[in-house]
Structure 1
Amino acid sequence: MPVRPFVDLHAHSSVSDGTEPPAQVMAAARAAGLDVVALTDHDTWDGWDEAAAAVGRTGVALVRGAEISTSAGGTSVHLLSYLHDPQARGLGAAVARARESRLGRARRMVERIAQDFDLTWEEVERRLEPGGTVGRPHIADALVDRGYVADRSTAFTELLDTRGPYYVPYDAPDVIEAIELVRRAGGVPVMAHPRAGSRGRVVEDEVIAQMAEAGLAGLEVDHRDHDEGAKAQLRGLAAELDLFVTGSSDYHGAGKPNRLGEHLTDPDVLAQIESEGYLPVLRP
């Protein structure tokens, strides 16, 4: 029988809050034994071209995607969009607004932190790739370099938590609107880590049902932020709503302990995503 490919559908590069350039993410995917990886940087697809150029030399197929910041009644929802048209104006405009809001939010968070810690915006800004998407991980890295915390995870737990005094929310499109924009752009929308309660509030099943009605295609079930109970519950919900399930690492290079390939997606699900998407999977 042919060997089924190893597929990881959630990875970040330094174009957003990962620590490795897109080409290095592709090389890391090869080293991890993956056959397919999705590049899903936050609110941008500026890393696609560099990752695509590495497909031939790494032998790893590329799923072009993004992790889009959205909101449902004030609760943050991350939406993975796969294989959408990068020229689609509606989706591009919504993502650009979210990226701009992230920048203003990060500046305000640094201002708050600076009241208690010696930290400047310049220390955070120099960690950004030109045109990249800023996020709390960049602030976390600056705090680590200053010696205030040991690592990114500690920074999030002790200083940057959504319920902490330094947190500032940012404007993001409504999740239903975002799903519709992804679909109009020919993309395939999947809800990222739906039960990652350690990151903050999560939405109820009723909201996920509304998302499914709007065109949501799947749920990211196999993820390190989900315990076995959450995975079982999500599989049942996905079956009830006729959604497929995915598994992913949510890789950020050295920025998080997540390792490429620690959770995988069924190749049949990848085939379904490709059949629905505007773009093809780029293969060696």
Structure 2
Amino acid sequence: MKPDLHCHSYYSDGAHSPDFLCRRAIENGVTHLAITDHDCIEALIKPMDDCYEIQIITGVEISCEWETQEIHLVGLCIEHENSQLISLLKQQQRARYSRMQAMDELLVKNGINGLQDYLNRLPCKAFTRSHVADFLLSSGKVKNKQKAFKQFLGKRGKAYVPFQWQSMVRAIKTVQAASGIAVIAHPGRYPLSRLKLELLINQFKQMGGDAIEVSYGSVQPKMQKKLENLAEKHSLYVSVGSDFHNVEAHWTDIGKYPQVSSSSIKNAIWNHPRWHPL
């Protein structure tokens, strides 16, 4: 079994179609694939013609908040037609679009027009600041995406619009109401101290969370070991995924992430009682 339980299509901030992701996964020897787009499940609704050779795991990645910190919660094995889940995702999508409109107004004040037209041409259902960065880059306003965030989209940027996400506990309960498994995505990426990271994991467990991602495309060996230890300490399942977005991002690819230790693999998420491929 070779799963990849975290990747993105062009329905959120990925660059490729769900069919492309399936073909890439098959080429890379992946047996189980979850397309976990940000706050949308469009990839699960549209037919995927090239996925017949692979087991599809239903998934989504919900943006939420814990102690003012944005956290990403992956939901796996979800019933994607669940009304509670659909309601939350629609609310998130509307809020994201409203944020884009507010950013557009700030960009116009800075002499930059065309963001709304750019966004309307995309298949995306859940817009992110990364889309705005792509717009600024493609329109020649910045030299790279890093400059876009520094000048416009970061907290001190000219077009930054603050945002309040759903609470982490609501995200967990919504995933589980849809019969899904709630997973903290890439825990080592958040700007948290060692003590804060452990507090996050501890409170996630107390809220009823199921698993944490211990291996992902950018994880370092020291952090992976720490996450595996935290999962064991708090009796959480372990999950894995590349967090693949784009073939041009050479730091990751579908099915490419560090191997999980033999001691942790016994608590792999595919041993969870709610685990079920399509």
TM-score (norm 2): 0.86
3-state SS of the aligned residue for 1:77?
A: strand
Q: CA deviation at 1:238?
A: 0.9
| Whole-angstrom distance in 2 between the partners of 1:150 and 1:135 | 19
Superposed displacement of residue 226, structure 1? 3.2
Residues paired across the two proteins, number: 270
Give the match for residue 2 of structure 2: 6
1:182 aligned residue: 175
Name the residue aligned to 2:206. 213
**2:270 paired residue number:** 271
In structure 1, the partner of 2:102 is: 108
User: 1:243 and 1:153 mapped to 2: Cα distance?
Assistant: 35
Do structure 1's residue 194 and structure 2's residue 187 form an aligned pair?
Answer: yes
1:222 aligns with 2:227: no
- 2:139 equivalent in structure 1: 146
Counterpart contact for 1:37–1:63, Cα < 8 Å: yes
Amino acid at match of 2:95: S
Please point out which of 58, 72, 95 is paired with 1:78: 72
Does the C-alpha gap of structure 1 residues 17 and 38 become closer, same or farther in structure 2, counting only changes over 3 Å?
same
Give the secondary-structure state (helix, strand or coil) at the position aligned to 2:202. Answer: helix
Change (3 A) 1:90 1:143: same
**Deviation by residue 1:106-131 (Cα, 9 ceiling, x = unmatched):** 2222332343352422343134216x
Q: Deviations over 1:228-273 (max 9, x none)?
A: 3322222221111011222211111247443212216768625224
Q: Which residue identity does 1:260 align to in structure 2?
A: I
Bigger shift: 81-90 or 246-255? 246-255
Shift of 1:35: 1.8
2:229 is matched with which residue? Answer: 236
- With 222-231 and 133-142 compared, the bigger mean Cα shift is at 222-231
CA contact (8 A) 1:39 1:66 kept: yes
SS in 1 for 2:188: coil
Asked if 1:136 corresponds to 2:129, the answer is yes
- CA gap of 1:40–1:255, structure 2 versus 1, over 3 A, is farther
1:19 aligned partner: 15
Once the two structures are TM-superposed, the CA of residue 90 in structure 1 deviates from its matched residue by 2.0
Alpha-carbon distance in structure 2 between the residues aligned to 1:194 and 1:281 = 24
User: Which of 1 and 2 has higher RCO (CA within 8 Å, sep 6+)?
Assistant: 1
Counterpart for residue 91 of structure 1: 85
Stretch of structure 1 that moved more, 262-271 or 176-185: 262-271
RMSD: 2.5
With 141-150 and 9-18 compared, the bigger mean Cα shift is at: 141-150
- 1:164–1:212 distance in 2 versus 1, CA, 3 Å: farther
C-alpha distance in structure 2 between counterparts of 1:225 and 1:166, whole Å: 28
Asked whether the 8 Å contact 1:152–1:255 carries over to 2, the reply is no
Between 219-228 and 230-239, the greater mean CA deviation after superposition: 219-228
81-90 vs 151-160, greater mean Cα deviation: 151-160
1:165-204 per-position Cα deviation (integer Å, ceiling 9, x unaligned): 432233321101211121121000100111214xx56853
- State the shift of 1:152 in Å: 4.0
Retained in 2: the 8 A contact 1:6–1:265? no
- How far apart, in 2, do the equivalents of 1:157 and 1:31 lie? 37
Taking only the aligned residue pairs, the percentage that are identical comes to 25
SS at match of 1:76: strand
Q: Where does structure 2 lack aligned partners over 5 or more consecutive residues? A: none
Q: Structure 1, unaligned stretches of length 5 or more?
A: none
Paired residue secondary structure (2:182): strand
**Alpha-carbon offset, residue 81 of structure 1:** 0.1
